[in-house]
Amino acid sequence: MKEEKKTEKTTKAPAISKEVLSDIIKSIPSPLEISFLIKDLNIAYEKKVLSNADDLSKFNNNYKQAINLGIYSTDLGYSNIYGQTQDALNYLTAVKTMADGLKIGQHFDFKTIKKLASARDNLDSLLLVTNKNLEDINEHLQEKGRPDLTILILTGGWVEALYLTCEVAKKKPNELLNNRIGDQKIILDQLLLLLSFYDDNANIKSLIEQMNRLQKMYENVKITVKTKQSTVKTTGDVIEVGGDSESIIEFTTKDLDNILNVTKEIRNKMAE
């Protein structure tokens, strides 16, 4: 029997400006930052928590390719930072396959990313290159009327980074990791806002429902911003008020378990 070719509904353009979308995208931290943090804490490499990069043929539509491009990009950065060459090459192949499927492979500077990621002192340069790649991809997809794919790439990468962080924090409790997990509550709200503009797409609507469950788990996470020191500077008729601040993040071990469990469910659903 001849296999029926799958079709995919094109997502309509949202009622959100290009500038606003770009600003929100830029405000979301790179998953690379958490990978460097984990390594700086002298926590051992955890290959078994990463996504399987073997069966790529099952990702046969734009939604799955965009989501898993984000996931594999996070795993590529993590494995490369730890100097796991073979794993990094496997994830590099997966990233290229997903990117080529979306016709955006030309916007990935794979050679430079691999070179910079192998040198520990090049965090700033690596972040600049990867952020520039994402900006180029967003620009390209905006022109093609598919900014939703940029958001799916971001969401996949974010979910994988959160899952990795939760798994590590559960095995090796650490205040820095716990704080990083807690402050993702804000990023989750931003991602849900962006995804909401595309809820006419069945896949994205389902994803929003899953992410809403995660948001529910974050309800018990309390974030308090405290100002350490206020400063007042007067220049002519202009008065500037500034000061340093810190975020105090509070949640229980049970909250962490709930966040991890729901994140794992979302991530595994993405990789089906």
Q: How far is CA 72 from the centre of its chain?
A: 10
What's the CA gap between 229 and 227, in Å, rounded?
A: 6
Q: Residue 118's domain spans which residues?
A: 18-270
Looking at the domain assignment, is residue 5 inside a domain? no
| Res. 92: pLDDT tops 70 | yes
Looking at the domain assignment, is residue 3 inside a domain? no
**126: nearest Cα among 38, 36, 46, 47:** 36
The pTM of this model reads 0.83
pLDDT confidence tier of residue 12, bands split at 50, 70 and 90: low
Average pLDDT of span 224-246? 61
Looking at the domain assignment, is residue 4 inside a domain? no
What is the pLDDT at residue 147? 84
Average pLDDT of span 157-175? 92
Looking at the domain assignment, is residue 187 inside a domain? yes
What rounded mean pLDDT belongs to the chain? 82
What is the pLDDT at residue 2? 42
pLDDT confidence tier of residue 243, bands split at 50, 70 and 90: low
pLDDT confidence tier of residue 161, bands split at 50, 70 and 90: very high
Domain total for the chain? 1
Pick 171 or 5 by higher pLDDT. Answer: 171
